[in-house]
């Protein structure tokens, strides 16, 4: 399709404005992390590496990163297992209520976080009588992390068809053998992509976390929110933010590469 | 369909029925398939032949009826507990494994020691003339090579029965003819039962010891290739297997002097300028000639109001006449009474 010169200029400009809206503020954060100002004044009065040094000595920041990594890793692993199982059930078997279950599995990603948060908080504390802790955060994160795994895996299962699994069964492979030797190797890249997205989702989640984290459980987003307006902490927050942006690029880039090269060979 | 019961058949299907919703994909099929037989299930798409194969393999559960393997009822048994193996239409080779790993798979899941399974898989690859391809991935092979890997993989575990689901469907003509010969040789050397599903009547006629013709989920005729071709019992079989000129009741009476519906094969009709006394004949006009290499297909409009097809072998003496020159020629179509096959159903 040919696009006229004018349209190209207009569309290019619009794209530029949108991308600038997203990325210029991020660049400001990067610049501010080297600013000598303690209250994020603009333009930065001077240049310093001091905040970067302080950030890596801040026990609060490092502890929060560790907590977030723990939560995200465990939530991702649990989501991978449960997401794969539910995908297999929904894609490979027919049973009563299958479509309903499918809808209920996907729904949490669309539910407002604040609703999920309040509901889980209520259920954990008043109904089940469980103390809020890192465990409750993980459970809460799994409810939506499962969706990214589920979506990736079920799409792959659909595309892969059943003939490879039938061939395995035909040659004498039982259910578990077939999964281990045939289905799982075919799912690997879908699991990696789904897992990376789940990790990213969990790592920066704040709303549900706020409602389900016990006292003393501070994930990184919560730490950032708590410290942003404290005197002398804002520049450190900037440093952490820059690190997070850099770290976030990696899983998204990898996930996209996998999705791009994602051709099921037949 | 009637058949002589075989003492202990390799496969016995009794009243086999499979419904999908309100549709009977397979509708009360009874079949005995003998040990060591090359048996074809022939029919148009949707006739139920592939479903029968999947029921034998165990990928589908029948709605009614039973499947017996060598006298053992396996109707409720999982595919991995049945002594049959399948060559899939799309080959279904495992894309993440090498060719050798694919072939060795059946041995691996049975717990055969690594050294032995590699040796046996290599042997199987040798048998399909792919000895040096073991290290490749399926994606690096041509269609014909994948087909042979699928054969090697299915036969390495020495099944009693090999099921083949349109295995040659995806290959081009030349390769298909070559694979037909190889299949026949492989079956003979392994001495196992082959059940071959195809919609290609020529393939079925060439390869099979016996053929079951399927239509609408039922076996409409069962017999040797000669029986099926020379003595079709219904107009469906007469027109699905090869080409037939089918004469309805009125035309049969006036042209063939017989009751009921009858069929005459195109190659059993001769065209002559003047009628010979010994055979029955009908006058007509040549409407079209189609040159097909070894023979010419001639469309003749009989004066009685029936269009028939006649197949004439091309011999060396004919080549001077361009086929189109004969259009409009007046001819007498002749057939011997032995060429007339009565059909059961109109």
Domain CATH code at residue B297 = 2.40.50.100
Instruction: Read off the DSSP letter of residue B259.
Output: S
Give A-chain residues touching B157 at CB under 8 angstroms: 171-172
Distance CA A162, CA A170 (A): 12
Q: Does B4 map to a domain?
A: no
Give B-chain residues touching A174 at CB under 8 angstroms: 78, 80, 109
B99-135 confidence digits (pLDDT tens): 999 999 999 999 999 999 999 999 999 988 899 999 9
Task: Give me the pLDDT at residue B39, please.
Answer: 96
**How would residue B324 be classed by pLDDT, with cut points 50, 70 and 90?**
low
Same domain, B173 and B114: yes
Residue A3 in contact with partner chain B when CB distance is under 8 A: no
Nearest to A238 by CA among A15, A34, A22: A34
**CA A217, chain centre distance (Å):** 19
pTM: 0.80
Nearest Cα residue in chain A from B94: A164
Does residue B80 surpass a pLDDT of 70? yes
**How would residue B178 be classed by pLDDT, with cut points 50, 70 and 90?**
confident
**CA B32, chain centre distance (Å):** 17
Task: Give me the pLDDT at residue A61, please.
Answer: 85
Task: Give me the pLDDT at residue A29, please.
Answer: 87
Task: Give me the pLDDT at residue B172, please.
Answer: 84
Residue of B51, B60, B105 best to disrupt the A interface, most CBs of A under 10 A:
B105
Nearest to B284 by CA among B267, B256, B262, B306: B306
Give A-chain residues touching B110 at CB under 8 angstroms: 172
Same domain, B271 and B230: no
Same domain, B114 and B253: no
Does residue B54 surpass a pLDDT of 90? yes
**Encoding tokens for residue A230?**
């404290």
A143-154 confidence digits (pLDDT tens): 999 999 999 999
Task: Give me the pLDDT at residue A159, please.
Answer: 92
A194-203 confidence digits (pLDDT tens): 999 899 899 8
CB atoms within 10 A of CB A263: 10
A214: closest CA of chain B, how far (Å): 45
Does residue B220 surpass a pLDDT of 90? yes
Mean of pLDDT values over B9-33: 93
CATH, residue B181? 3.40.50.300
Distance CA B125, CA B105 (A): 13
Which stretches in chain A have pLDDT values below 70?
259-266
**Encoding tokens for residue B261?**
């519906």
Inspect the interface and report whether the beta carbons of B157 and A266 lie closer than 8 Å. no
**Encoding tokens for residue B149?**
């890997």
Same domain, B233 and B264: no
Task: Give me the pLDDT at residue B133, please.
Answer: 94
CB atoms within 10 A of CB B326: 15
Distances (CA, A) of A88 to A106, A166, A196, B93, B174: 15, 14, 20, 21, 41
A173: closest CA of chain B, how far (Å): 6
Does residue B346 surpass a pLDDT of 60? no
Inspect the interface and report whether the beta carbons of A181 and B105 lie closer than 8 Å. yes
Which of B221, B240, B259 is a domain's end point?
B240
Cβ within 8 Å of B, A 163-192: 163-164, 166-174, 177, 181-182, 185-186
Q: Does B6 map to a domain?
A: no
Task: Give me the pLDDT at residue B6, please.
Answer: 65
B260-318 confidence digits (pLDDT tens): 889 999 999 988 888 776 667 888 999 988 888 888 899 999 988 889 999 988 876 55
Distances (CA, A) of A219 to A131, A154, B234: 17, 31, 78
Element holding A31 (H helix, E strand): helix A5-32
Handedness of CA B264, B265, B268, B270 (dihedral sign): positive
Which of B240, B259, B280 is a domain's end point?
B240
Which of B215, B240, B265 is a domain's end point?
B240
Inspect the interface and report whether the beta carbons of B80 and A167 lie closer than 8 Å. no
Please tell me the total count of domains within chain B: 2
Same domain, B101 and B193: yes
**Per residue in B255-270, is it b (16+ CB within 10 Å) or e — as a string?**
bbeeeebbbbbbebbb
Structural domains of chain A ordered from first start: 48-260 (1.10.3720.10)
The percentage of residues in chain B with a pLDDT greater than 70, rounded to a whole number, is 94
Distance CA A259, CA A242 (A): 26
Enclosing domain of residue B63: 11-240
CB within 8 A of B38, min separation 6: which ones? B184, B187, B193, B194, B196, B207, B208, B209, B210
Q: Does B286 map to a domain?
A: yes
Give A-chain residues touching B94 at CB under 8 angstroms: 164, 167-168, 181-182, 185
Residue of A161, A171, A180 best to disrupt the B interface, most CBs of B under 10 A:
A171
Comparing A152-156, B256-260, B342-346, the range with the smallest average pLDDT is: B342-346
Average pLDDT, rounded, for chain B: 89
């Amino acid at each position: 399709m040919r696009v006229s010169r004018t349209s190209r200029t207009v569309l290019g400009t619009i794209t530029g404005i949108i991308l600038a809206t997203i990325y210029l503020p991020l660049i400001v954060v990067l610049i501010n992390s080297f600013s000598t100002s303690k209250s994020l004044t603009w333009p930065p009065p001077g240049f310093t590496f001091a905040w970067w040094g302080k950030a890596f000595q801040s026990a609060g920041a490092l502890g929060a990163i560790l907590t977030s990594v723990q939560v995200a890793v465990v939530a991702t692993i649990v989501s991978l297992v449960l997401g794969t199982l539910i995908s297999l059930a929904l894609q490979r078997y027919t049973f009563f209520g299958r479509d309903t279950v499918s809808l209920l599995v996907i729904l949490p990603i669309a539910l407002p976080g604040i609703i999920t948060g309040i509901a889980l908080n209520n259920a954990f504390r008043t109904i089940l009588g469980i103390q809020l802790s890192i465990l409750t955060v993980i459970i809460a994160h799994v409810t939506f992390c499962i969706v990214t795994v589920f979506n990736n895996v079920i799409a792959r299962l659909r595309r892969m068809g059943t003939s490879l699994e039938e061939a395995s069964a035909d040659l004498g492979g039982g259910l578990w053998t077939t999964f281990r030797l045939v289905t799982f190797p075919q799912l690997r890249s879908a699991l990696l992509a789904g897992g990376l997205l789940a990790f990213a989702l969990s790592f920066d989640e704040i709303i549900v976390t706020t409602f389900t984290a016990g006292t003393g459980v501070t994930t990184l987003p919560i730490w950032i929110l708590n410290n942003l307006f404290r005197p002398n902490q804002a520049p450190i927050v900037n440093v952490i933010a820059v690190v997070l942006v850099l770290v976030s690029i990696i899983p998204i880039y990898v996930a996209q590469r996998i999705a791009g090269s994602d051709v099921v060979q037949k | 369909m009637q058949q002589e019961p075989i003492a202990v058949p390799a496969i016995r299907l009794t009243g086999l029925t499979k419904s999908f919703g309100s549709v009977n994909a397979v509708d009360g099929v009874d079949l005995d398939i003998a040990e060591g037989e090359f048996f074809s299930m022939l029919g148009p798409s949707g006739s139920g032949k592939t479903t029968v194969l999947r029921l034998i393999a165990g990928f589908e559960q029948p709605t009614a009826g039973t499947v017996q393997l060598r006298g053992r009822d396996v109707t409720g048994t999982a595919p991995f507990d049945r002594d049959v193996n399948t060559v899939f239409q799309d080959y279904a080779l495992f894309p993440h494994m090498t060719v050798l790993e694919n072939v060795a798979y059946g041995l691996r899941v049975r717990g055969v020691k690594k050294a032995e399974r590699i040796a046996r898989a290599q042997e199987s690859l040798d048998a399909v003339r792919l000895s040096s391809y073991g290290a490749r991935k399926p994606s690096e092979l041509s269609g014909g090579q994948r087909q042979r890997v699928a054969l090697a993989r299915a036969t390495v575990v020495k099944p009693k029965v090999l099921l083949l689901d349109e295995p040659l469907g995806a290959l081009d003509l030349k390769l298909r003819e070559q694979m037909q010969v190889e299949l026949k040789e492989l079956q003979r050397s392994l001495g196992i039962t082959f059940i071959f599903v195809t919609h290609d009547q020529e393939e079925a006629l060439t390869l099979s010891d016996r053929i079951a013709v399927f239509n609408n989920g039922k076996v409409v005729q069962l017999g040797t290739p000669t029986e099926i071709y020379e003595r079709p019992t219904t107009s469906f079989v007469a027109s699905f297997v090869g080409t037939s000129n089918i004469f309805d009741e009125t035309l049969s009476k006036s042209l063939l002097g017989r009751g009921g519906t009858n069929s005459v094969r195109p190659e059993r009709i001769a065209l002559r300028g003047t009628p010979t006394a010994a055979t029955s004949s009908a006058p007509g006009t040549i409407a079209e000639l189609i040159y097909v290499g070894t023979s010419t297909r001639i469309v003749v409009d009989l004066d009685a109001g029936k269009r028939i097809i006649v197949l004439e072998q091309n011999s060396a003496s004919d080549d001077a006449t361009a086929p189109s020159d004969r259009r409009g020629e007046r001819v007498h179509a002749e057939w011997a009474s032995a060429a007339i096959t009565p059909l059961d159903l109109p």
